[in-house]
Structure formats: structure tokens, C-alpha cells
Amino acid sequence: MISGRKEEIVIVGGGLAGTSAACILAEAGRSVLLIERDAEPRHKVCGEFLSIEAQTYLTRLGIDLEGLGASRISRLRLIRKRKLTEVALPFAARGLSRRTLDEALLDQARIRGARIIRGQAVRSISADPSQVHAEIAAGDPISADAVFLATGKHDVRGMKRASAGTMDDLIGFKVHYRLAMRQQQALEGLVEVILFSGGYAGLQMVEHGIANLCLVVSRTCFDQVGKSWDALLDHIASECPHLAERLQGAQSLFERPLAIFQIPYGFLHEPDSSEQQGLFRLGDQVGVIPSFTGDGMSIALHSGCLAASMYLAHGRTSSIFHHRIRSDIQRSIRLASILNRAVRHAAGQQAVFHFCRTWPAAMQHVTTLTRVHEASVHRALVAS
Ligand SMILES: Cc1cc2nc3c(=O)[nH]c(=O)nc-3n(C[C@H](O)[C@H](O)[C@H](O)COP(=O)(O)OP(=O)(O)OC[C@H]3O[C@@H](n4cnc5c(N)ncnc54)[C@H](O)[C@@H]3O)c2cc1C
């Protein structure tokens, strides 16, 4: 029996999933404590591409994308070696840095009455039939009626995700650049996806004239090029002169690239009859969609809003939520995983490129199938 402080709801992690749940629960008058490991705003490895579903949730949560300076993106350009093809997106997307977006969401949670502790990490979580217990790095343990686990890529002791069957040999990198004016103008309104041997990269504008280059590469490729960022960029640029041109005269805004290892792409939480109630898994802790076609931010927001509204309707029976979210996101995660596997190989990249060039309409359809379904978004929004 763990004693210590008692709370109604504890949310662990102040990214998109955790803050969206905090907003809905606090708005409904519930007592919410959110614990975020980072003491200060921080950049995160992310393509920073906001789909229409993500935007719908953000508007509901009071985020003014226009006011925050988010870029507008209407076309996708796919690039492989010296060839490129372009297609109109089936929606108007936006680009905004995670540093700005996550802080804006934390502010919204605070405004609605959530209490926020920053700079402390939850070390472990355990559950018994009536309560969930969180042990924090500093201070007394906390017991709560419900804990919303929203730690993104980072597992917490006691609640580790099952990694079997996931593609976890990939590394994600991100750098913000100030591009030369001519290149910035050329990139306006576009997300450029570059296929290269060993991985793929996304380049787009975010706020205040900043460009985000985010890429995913296999560990084997990274090792082969000599385990250095500069060597990796040279490798991509030698295969794809388009990127070399974009980065000519660009100023890197980071001292070194941000990196993330062992992303468990394809993970999907499988609820079982023995799982304790009161522990709600959100965002990357419930499902990780590969970022090639992915829509991880809208899954995070969808899971946060859905879990909060289901807690308000059904109390701490988290298994109802886990079954619902699984059925909402499994199709997109499966399809995105198939595409992610395909683009890891030259033949698959060629096939995807050829497909996009020959059937742009089918390509638009695929981007729709890899996103959270409109009806699921509608249901979660009505409930919240
Ligand atoms: C390379 C790459 C590119 C991507 N590109 C896109 C894209 O363009 N568009 C898109 O929609 N999605 C994209 N995604 C996916 C998206 O970034 C994630 O799905 C999304 O951030 C998940 O949100 P989250 O709230 O679950 O986790 P996070 O945003 O990671 O937030 C988790 C929070 O928990 C905190 N935390 C961690 N551990 C603890 C702890 N022990 N105690 C307290 N706090 C803790 C962290 O500090 C963090 O703030 C990409 C992912 C990758 C890897």
C-alpha cells in the first residue's frame, strides 16, 4: 500500500496528448494535476506538419494558429534522386514548431484551471484495483483515481510499452534553418518529402520564416555514412541535389541536430482483460504511427480529447477507452506501417514515387486513409 498525496486526476507528460486531456478535464471542473519533465520550453523531434484533424482539435482547445504565425501548406512535393512530382494536398495544412505549440497548449490547460508542475519526472507508475500510484523524482508519491499516461516516446517504469513487431531500428533527426531568401520563397506553401537510400526527409516552413528539416534514417545507413550529421547530409545531398540547393547559404539555428532513437513505429496498445482500470494511455503511449504519411499529432490530440470525455462519461474504466481508441487508429497505423516499410528499400521508393506521379488522386486517397477518420474526430469533439 503506497501512501502520500491524493489527487483525483494526474496527467503525466505535457505534450499534445497530455495537455489536450488536461484542457477538457479542467474545463469540466475536474481537479487536474499535470506533471511535465521539462522545466522550460523545448524543441522536439517532429516534422511539425499539422493535418486538418490536428487543426480542428487545436481550434477546439483555443489555439490561434494564425496568431502564432503558423505557415500554410497546400502542396506536397515528392523528390527522389533528380526527379520530383507534386500533388495538391486534400486539405490546407499548417506548420508550427513544437516548442511554440506545446507551450501554447500548456497555457490553455493552465487557463482552464489545471495545476502544472514543471521540471519533475514521474519515475514509475503502479496500479491497484482502486487507485493508480505515481512516484516522482522529487517529493512524495501521488495516488490518484486516474492517471493519464502521456509521456510520448519515453516509457515509465511499470508501464513499459510492448515493442514486439515494431520497427525500432530508426533514428529521427531535426534541425531548424534560416534559408536563403530565394530558397525560402521557393518552399512557401509546400511540404517537400525527399526519399533517399536509408530513409526519408521532410522540409517545410514553420513560423517566422524558419524552415524545419526532419528526417528518419535507418541505423545501418547512419552507421555506414560514419555516424555524423554532416556526413548524413552529404549522403542525402549527393543523391538528391535538390536538398543541396535548398540548404545552400542556409543558417542552422541549432547548435547540433536533435535526435531520437528507437522509435517504436507501428506500436498499438492491446488492451487485455487483466489490465488495471484508471490508467489511460494517450498519444505515443497508445499508438505510434510512422511519420512518413503519419499523423501522430492528431492521434495524440484525438486520444487526449477522447480519453478525457470518456473519463467524464464512464469514470475510471479505462478499458472502454482503450478499445475505442484502438479501433479509431489501427487502420491508419497499419497502412502507414506498410508504406514506411516500402520506402525503406529502393524498389519500394521507386514504386511509391511512380504511384504518386501516375495517380495523384489515389495518392490523395492514401493520405486520407492514414489519418484519423472524420467521424471519429466528430464523435470525440461532440462528447467533449
Ligand atoms: C521523426 C518524426 C517526425 C514526426 N513528424 C510529425 C509530423 O510532421 N506531423 C505529425 O502530426 N506528427 C509527427 N510526428 C509524431 C508526433 O511528433 C508524435 O506522435 C506526438 O508528438 C506525440 O505526442 P505525445 O503528446 O504523445 O508525446 P510528446 O509530444 O513526446 O510529449 C510527451 C511529453 O511528456 C514529457 N515526459 C516524458 N517523460 C516524462 C516523465 N517521466 N514524467 C513527466 N513528463 C514526461 C516530455 O517531456 C514531453 O513533453 C513525428 C514523429 C517523429 C519521430
Dist CA 33 CA 281 (whole Å): 16
Tell me, yes or no, whether 252 lies in a domain: no
Q: Which atom of ligand 1 is nearest to the CA of 285?
A: 26
Angle at which helix 296-314 crosses helix 52-60, to 10 degrees, equals 40
pLDDT at 210 over 70: yes
Using the mean position of ligand 1's atoms as its centre, give its distance from the Cα of residue 284 in Å.
7
Is residue 76 classed as helix, strand or coil in its secondary structure? strand
Ligand 1 site residues (CB inside 6 A) read 12-18, 35-38, 44-49, 54, 121-122, 150-154, 156, 172, 214, 216, 260, 263, 283-284, 291, 294-298, 300
Tell me, yes or no, whether 224 lies in a domain: no
Tell me, yes or no, whether 54 lies in a domain: no
**Structural domains of the chain, count:** 1
pLDDT per position as a tens digit, 90-132? 899 999 999 999 999 999 999 999 999 999 999 999 999 999 9
Tell me, yes or no, whether 82 lies in a domain: no
Three cell numbers written together for 77:
512535393
Amino acid 2: pLDDT: 53
Find the CATH number of the domain harbouring 338. Answer: 3.50.50.60
Q: Which atom of ligand 1 is nearest to the CA of 284?
A: 26
Alpha carbon nearest to ligand 1 atom 52, residue? 46
pTM to 2 decimal places: 0.96
Alpha carbon nearest to ligand 1 atom 7, residue? 47
Domain with 312, as residue range(s), is 5-44+95-164+265-347+360-383
Using the mean position of ligand 1's atoms as its centre, give its distance from the Cα of residue 154 in Å.
9
Amino acid 3: pLDDT: 58
Tell me, yes or no, whether 239 lies in a domain: no
Is residue 259 classed as helix, strand or coil in its secondary structure? strand
Tell me, yes or no, whether 86 lies in a domain: no
Tell me, yes or no, whether 298 lies in a domain: yes
92 membership: H or E segment, kind and range: strand 83-95
CA neighbor of 263 nearest in space, from 34, 44, 28? 44
pLDDT per position as a tens digit, 262-305? 889 999 999 988 889 999 999 999 999 998 876 899 999 999 99
> For residue 331, which amino acid is it?
R
- 245 pLDDT tier (thresholds 50, 70, 90): very high
Tell me, yes or no, whether 113 lies in a domain: yes
Alpha carbon nearest to ligand 1 atom 6, residue? 47
Report percent pLDDT > 70 for the chain: 99
Mean pLDDT (the chain) is 93
Amino acid 355: pLDDT: 84
pLDDT at 367 over 80: no
Q: Which atom of ligand 1 is nearest to the CA of 17?
A: 25
Is residue 141 classed as helix, strand or coil in its secondary structure? coil
Using the mean position of ligand 1's atoms as its centre, give its distance from the Cα of residue 202 in Å.
17
